[in-house]
A and B are shown apart, each in its own frame.
Chain A
């Protein structure tokens, strides 16, 4: 009787260890990725993209500056500059809300990198450009509208 009980306890403890190990194993890859997983890039709308990034309800912030033209003549090349003045900024993501896949890029910053990225993006049509910043485990966002005129075709 006693021996049986011991065995049950033993196996229960064993199973527990395995579960913990599996959980740890599962946690590791997500932590290693840090930023948005690839699936977030395939999201077809802003809500899904935010969900994929793990930032469902980012707070609006005035400390994020988006520098982009008011009117972009060529939607294939739109220069975008994002500056985050939020202390401890670790990630900056850029989205064009009406693109087929809104999430364009995410940047994980470390080792003294400042809250600043500059790049050039494609835009299918006039839309808001949204920057999503993660700092201290919280998400913040800001947006700026860019009008896209399709050069030469009277858009």
Chain B
């Protein structure tokens, strides 16, 4: 499932404002299918890491309590315009995805 992930990174002063939008169903495993009455199996992102120019800035642990198609925003002090941001996630089924963007 290599659905697109969107990253926007902009500089404001000396702080890079990074916004990430991931595509994921984020099923908790507690919800029931309204037609069959069966539980929908859990399927959610468990780990998100972000690097700026190869330096790790964020290592997040997530749970099914995060909304569908997770949004994540964070700020990093120090980078310059043109630096590369890479965001990677992994979910509980072993699925992975990664995307990169340039700070503008």
A-B contact count (CB 8 A): 107
Chain A proximity of B28: nearest CB distance (Å) = 8
Measured CA separation A150–B79 after assembly (Å): 42
Q: Does B39 contact A (CB under 8 A)?
A: no
Q: Which of B19, B55, B65, B75 contacts A96 (CB 8 A)?
A: B65
Q: Can you list, as one digit per residue, whether each of A116-143 has a CB less than 8 Å from chain B (1) or not (0)?
A: 1111111000000000000000000000
> Which one of A6-14, A54-62, A99-107 is at the B interface?
A99-107
Task: Check A120 against B59 for contact (C-beta < 8 Å).
Answer: no
CB proximity to A under 8 Å, residues B50-91? 51-52, 55-68, 70-79
Q: Does A113 contact B (CB under 8 A)?
A: yes
Task: Check B72 against A119 for contact (C-beta < 8 Å).
Answer: yes
Q: Does A38 contact B (CB under 8 A)?
A: yes
The answer to whether residues A121 and B76 also contact, given A108-B59, A114-B15 and a CB cut-off of 8 A, is no
Chain A proximity of B1: nearest CB distance (Å) = 20
Task: Check A105 against B66 for contact (C-beta < 8 Å).
Answer: yes
Task: Check A105 against B65 for contact (C-beta < 8 Å).
Answer: yes
Chain A proximity of B7: nearest CB distance (Å) = 14
Q: How many residues of A contact B (CB 8 A)?
A: 33
Task: Check A111 against B55 for contact (C-beta < 8 Å).
Answer: yes
Most B CB within 10 A of own CB, among A36, A76, A110 = A110
Chain A proximity of B95: nearest CB distance (Å) = 17
Task: Check A113 against B74 for contact (C-beta < 8 Å).
Answer: yes
Task: Check A35 against B65 for contact (C-beta < 8 Å).
Answer: no
Which residues on the A side are within 8 Å of B64 (C-beta)? 101, 122
Task: Check A100 against B61 for contact (C-beta < 8 Å).
Answer: no
Measured CA separation A122–B64 after assembly (Å): 8
Residues of A in contact with B (beta carbons under 8 Å apart)? 34-36, 38, 41, 76-79, 81, 96, 99-101, 103-114, 116-122
List 17 interface pairs A-B (beta carbons < 8 Å), by A numbering.
Answer: A35-B59, A36-B61, A100-B28, A105-B65, A110-B59, A111-B76, A112-B55, A112-B79, A113-B74, A113-B75, A114-B75, A114-B76, A119-B66, A119-B70, A119-B71, A121-B65, A122-B64
In the complex, besides A119-B72, A120-B67, 20 extra interface pairs with C-beta distance below 8 angstroms are A38-B61, A77-B68, A100-B30, A104-B66, A105-B65, A106-B60, A107-B61, A108-B59, A108-B60, A109-B57, A109-B58, A110-B55, A111-B52, A111-B57, A111-B76, A117-B72, A118-B73, A119-B73, A121-B65, A122-B65
